[in-house]
Amino acid sequence: MKSTLFLTILLMTAAVGAQSRATQAPVSTARADAPIDLVGQWVAIISEDWRWRMITPAKGDIVSIPLNVQGQQVAEAWDPARDEAAGEQCRAYGAPGLMRGPIRMRISWQDDNTLKLETDYGVQTRLLRFGAATSPGPRSWQGFTSAQWIVRGGGRGAPRFGSLKTITNNLRPGYLRKNGVPYSDRATFTEHWDVHSLPNGDKYLVNTNVVDDPVYLQAPFQTAIHYKFERDTSKWDATPCDARF
């Protein structure tokens, strides 16, 4: 009798395992595995830090940002004319500064394992790459972003939820704020992306992010930024980088 029981358990475990593998088998690309839908146009709602995000604050206004002394000295030396002359007018449009800017962004699948994020503000493009690492290439304003779905549930008919985690490095030195608050080329930008829906159909994207920079920050710079999904895409307004406004 014991052997019968053992055999029954063995068979059932195998059957459930096979079922589990069967349901997982088709999932082979990031696009197919996506637990949330980020595709579409999103607009930043500037309901927080308006005076530091919507406009360029005065030089030396570094309130809220945990700069170390070296970072403060760099911020105090901000000179937009110098950036323009050096062809560096996009310094405030690197990924860590851009996401907190007054942006509209369009997210789409470039291929089955790459999400493309485009912004009208500064006309920037960032690629969120799933899967095995590829060569990061030269440093850039948007850096190199590796992406990973965090999936919850979904087994045997249960609801499937999740979020996106991205880590960006290989950045050119840039600004966290338009008035020259710096981050260095050693900065790492970690983001958690969540989509929340309301019963009325409104959708919000929340980007919880951390900037770690051993050069200019004395503590990780942690914020949450929210965007609203736009069905009407007519307000997209591509404007090039501007070092002053």
Partner 1 sequence: MRRKVLNTVVVLSVLLTSAPAFAQVELGGTYAIRMYEDYIERGPGSFLGDFTGMPMSDEGRAKALRYSSSLPSMIERQCLAQSPWVGLYRPLAIRIWSEVDASGRVVAWVMAGDYLRDTVRIWMDGRPHPSPNAWHSPSGFTTGQWEGDTLVAHTTHVKTAWIRRGVGIPGSDQSTFTVFITRRENLLTIMTIQEDPIYLTEPHVVSRVWEFDPRASQGPLRDTCNVGVEIPSLEDTGEVAHYLPGQNPEENYMVRTYNIPKDAAMGYAHTLYPEYRKTLRSVYKPPDSCGRYCCGWIERQGLPGAAPGLTCNDGNLPPALRKTLTSSER
- Interaction with partner 1 in 8-27: which residues (CB under 8 A)? 8-9, 12-13, 16
Of residues 37 and 76, the one with the C-beta less far from partner 1: 76
Q: How far apart are CA 80 and CA 98, in angstroms?
A: 17
Instruction: Please report how close the Cβ of residue 23 comes to partner 1 at its closest, in angstroms.
Output: 12
Query: Does residue 125 bind partner 1 (CB under 8 A)?
Result: no
**Region binding partner 1 by CB under 8 A among candidate stretches 38-46, 87-95, 110-118, 122-130:** 38-46
Site for partner 1 in 191-220 (CB under 8 A): 192, 194, 196, 198, 202, 204, 206, 208, 210, 218-219
Asked if 221 contacts 54 with a C-beta cutoff of 8 angstroms, the reply is no
Q: Cα–Cα–Cα angle for 50, 51, 53, nearest 5°?
A: 60
Sign of CA dihedral 25, 30, 33, 39: negative
Of residues 23 and 134, the one with the C-beta less far from partner 1: 23
Parallel/antiparallel/unpaired status of strands 144-153 and 124-130: parallel
Q: Which of 23, 37, 108, 152 binds partner 1 (CB under 8 A)?
A: 152
Assigned token pair, 202 = 């409104």
Q: How far apart are CA 65 and CA 72, in angstroms?
A: 10
Site for partner 1 in 162-181 (CB under 8 A): 162-163, 179
